[in-house]
């Protein structure tokens, strides 16, 4: 089933799908003005059943989803249900993510044969796509595919960040392909982009939001570990500078993400190097240092407990009291009774 939509600038000019298990079935043609709504995959009943759907989203992105169920007799077999050819209007990043099952993809344009499955997504950077996915029929295979042109990627992330993302994914060249691990929480954003609980414009709006959230999560995940790109001496300087800044810190504690942006290192690298140098995590150091300050001030001044809690960045005086008790084994008020 197809549905006509208002013309938009899409990542591809045309796509065609040829069904291999039923050669007499009409070729499915998709153009820039057509959405595919739950199109049944022609396959014999003894093999199984399945469907695919494809939607054009705003900004020229395309989101597709396929689900394939196989009979028990097909367990252990590899099945190629179709071949597809797509003509892109520009260099395009194609992301394939399996919610269930495994796929061995033959891609003629990139000249690759790659295996991907749940937890490991496939990234292709191509200007033309000719693929024949071979499915492991031992289980249900469910795959979501996102196609996003380079110009759209650069518009969303910025050209420098978009190019950096492609490079870190290992697909800067055209054509190229790479399978990379992606955390389930990030991949799930793509998997839930097309939900059957909505229809019409609402369904597309949700899909658009999920795709944007996925791209942001993917970019953050891919760039999270910068240890290999930041010189060791630079990392040491930043960690020592951070330590000095934290000893003078007052008020609300910054988050690791805020510190990451401020010192030009990923949160994981910054915390790892800080702990390696000073024996404590960043959060652990901030807590211990502030409580040590509180201990001294309670002994040497008449500062009110609430004022002290505010000064040290605790949102409520009871949070400060509980943290102090965990650190020293007695409440802060006990120091004032001596």
Q: Do domains 2-222 and 232-336 have the same CATH topology?
A: no
pLDDT of residue 6: 45
DSSP at 332: T
pLDDT of residue 224: 57
pLDDT of residue 7: 40
pLDDT, tens digit (0-9, with 9 covering 90-100), for 192-213: 988 777 777 888 889 999 999 9
Query: Helix or strand or coil: residue 275?
Result: helix
Mean pLDDT over 129-156 rounds to: 94
Distance CA 155, CA 138 (A): 41
pLDDT of residue 337: 62
Mean pLDDT over 250-260 rounds to: 82
pLDDT of residue 5: 45
The phi and psi torsions of 39 (rounded to 5 degrees) equal -80, 125
| pLDDT > 50? residue 228 | no
pLDDT, tens digit (0-9, with 9 covering 90-100), for 156-166: 888 888 888 89
pLDDT, tens digit (0-9, with 9 covering 90-100), for 16-70: 999 999 989 999 988 877 888 889 999 999 999 999 999 888 778 999 999 999 9
Bridge partners, 130 (sequence order): 85
- With pLDDT > 90 as the criterion, what percentage of the chain qualifies? 43
pLDDT of residue 158: 87
Distance CA 246, CA 296 (A): 17
| pLDDT > 60? residue 137 | yes
The phi and psi torsions of 288 (rounded to 5 degrees) equal -65, -40
| pLDDT > 50? residue 8 | no
Per-domain residue ranges of the chain: 2-222, 232-336
Q: Which residue has the tokens 């915390």?
A: 271
| pLDDT > 70? residue 2 | no
Domain 232-336 has CATH 1.10.10.60: yes
Q: Which residue has the higher pLDDT, 239 or 338?
A: 239
Q: In the CATH scheme, what is the homologous superfamily, with its name and number, of domain 2-222?
A: Jelly Rolls (2.60.120.10)
| pLDDT > 60? residue 237 | yes
The phi and psi torsions of 70 (rounded to 5 degrees) equal -120, 150
pLDDT of residue 12: 66
pLDDT, tens digit (0-9, with 9 covering 90-100), for 97-116: 999 999 999 988 778 899 99
Question: Residue 286 CA to chain centroid, in angstroms?
Answer: 30
pLDDT of residue 305: 86
pLDDT of residue 78: 94
């Amino acid at each position: 089933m197809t549905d006509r939509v208002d013309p938009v600038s899409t990542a591809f000019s045309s796509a065609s799908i040829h069904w291999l298990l039923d050669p007499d079935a009409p070729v499915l043609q998709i153009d820039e003005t057509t959405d595919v709504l739950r199109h049944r995959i022609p396959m014999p009943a003894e093999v199984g059943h399945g469907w695919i759907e494809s939607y054009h989203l705003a900004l020229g992105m395309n989101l597709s989803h396929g689900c394939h169920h196989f009979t028990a007799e097909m367990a252990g077999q590899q099945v190629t249900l179709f071949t597809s050819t797509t003509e892109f209007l520009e260099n395009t990043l194609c992301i394939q993510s399996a919610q269930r099952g495994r796929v061995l993809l033959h891609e003629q344009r990139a000249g690759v044969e790659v295996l991907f499955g749940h937890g490991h997504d496939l990234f292709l950077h191509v200007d033309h796509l000719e693929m024949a996915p071979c499915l492991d029929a031992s289980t249900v295979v469910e795959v979501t595919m996102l196609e996003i042109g380079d110009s759209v990627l650069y518009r969303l992330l910025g050209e420098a960040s978009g190019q950096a993302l492609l490079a870190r994914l290992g697909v800067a060249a055209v054509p190229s392909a790479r399978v990379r691990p992606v955390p389930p929480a990030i991949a799930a954003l793509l998997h839930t982009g097309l939900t059957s609980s909505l229809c019409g414009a609402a369904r597309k709006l949700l899909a658009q939001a999920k795709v944007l959230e996925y791209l942001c999560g993917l970019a953050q995940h891919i760039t999270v570990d910068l240890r290999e790109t930041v010189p060791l001496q630079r990392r040491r300087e930043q960690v020592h500078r951070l330590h000095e800044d934290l000893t003078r810190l007052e008020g609300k504690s910054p988050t690791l993400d805020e510190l990451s942006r401020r010192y030009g290192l990923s949160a994981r690298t910054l915390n790892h190097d800080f702990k390696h140098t000073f024996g404590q995590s960043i959060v652990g150091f901030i807590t211990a240092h502030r409580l040590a300050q509180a201990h001294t001030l309670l002994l040497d001044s008449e500062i009110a407990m609430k004022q002290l809690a505010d000064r040290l960045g605790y949102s409520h005086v009871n949070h400060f009291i509980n943290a102090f008790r965990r650190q020293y084994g007695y409440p802060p008020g006990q120091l004032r009774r001596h």
